[in-house]
Amino acid sequence: MWGRFVNRPEKCASVTKRLMNDASRMVDEELDGLVALHRNTLRRLEGTRIIVRKDAPQIGKVGVVGGGGSGHEPMQAGYVGRGMLDAAVAGEIFTAPPPNQIHRAIREVDGQKGVLLVVNNFAGDTMNFGLAEEMGRKDGVRVEHVIVNDDVAVPVKENRRGIAGGILVEKIAGAKAELGGSLMDVRELAQRAVDNTRSMGVALTSCTLPSVGKPMFSIGEGEMEVGIGVHGERGVRRTKLGSADEIAKTLLDRISGDLGLRRGDRVALLANGMGGTSLMELLILFRRTLQLLDEAGVVVSRSMAGSLVTSLDMSGASLTLIRLDDELLQMLNAPDLTPSFPKKV
């Protein structure tokens, strides 16, 4: 049964059929489709899974590179464009991209002012991006990095996973770079964003790997997984399925407590769907989260809701908060030309 983010859980039939040709070609065909859809702004480097701005490299501008396993669409390639990422490197589904392709991306976007890598805190990603950073430096490119670890479900901060908060860090870093910031300026602001970002998610169903065709694990009717990552893994605990309002409070209490939010603080709020969650459900979750923040006297200066960092077809959601200062808000609201980052309206 599929769970739902509603205040009275419903039953819905599970569907595992997919629009695909061959599971082994899905990543490559997806990237080709994205570039075909945005042919005026994006290009794919031949023989790679690297998507770059069509006008890269921008001489005199810091390059910003992201990447990671596929299956989280629109992350990461959907966030390539002016004002955000200069390149994104895709791995296989839920698998870190190889160091040689990350290195190629560094070289491709180097505008002689250095390159910042925005890396989600998973073992494969930190290892492969670290190797690529060393390779880039040996080529004479100035390369720095930040590690995104926004998942408060993991108690030890150094071990926290990078989940939906990473796209806010990428947006802020990309905007600062677009405005002409130095490599260290961009890195320091990106790190400030990391330090002020927290996320947590729940799953009502597992996801289904295209190559396997069945869920990675089962969740009983009337249950949910609390504290999930983005690779289809289980949460840190399994509980009774709550209403949307109860789930909003559970997630927000943990996030705001870890962030140490106080009355009068300014934040941006992101309600993120995991791929199999309807916008109706997500807006119900967002609605209560915003009410709770208003009641706590926390000022929501920017709101976003959508399936922006997914886990294939998982039914679930995460909440992300970033505590803002004037510069972080300015960069978050700066214009961008990307396929998928929510536009400010």
Q: Which residues are catalytic?
A: 72, 231
Burial of 11 (0-12, 13-18, 19+ CB in 10 A): exposed
Residue among 182, 178, 18 nearest 83 (CA): 178
Cβ count near 63 (within 10 Å): 31
Per-residue CA distances from 311 to 14, 36, 176 (Å): 16, 23, 29
Tokens standing for residue 152: 């408060």
Residues 6+ apart with CB under 8 A from 80: 42, 51, 52, 53, 86, 87, 88, 338, 339
First to last CA, the chain: 37
The CA distance from 63 to 182, in Å, is 10
The CA distance from 67 to 61, in Å, is 20
Q: Is the peptide bond before 74 cis (omega within 30 degrees of 0)?
A: yes
Q: What is the DSSP letter of 47?
A: T
Cβ count near 236 (within 10 Å): 15
Residues 6+ apart with CB under 8 A from 345: none
The amino acid at residue 283 is L
The neighbouring-strand residues paired with 70 are 93
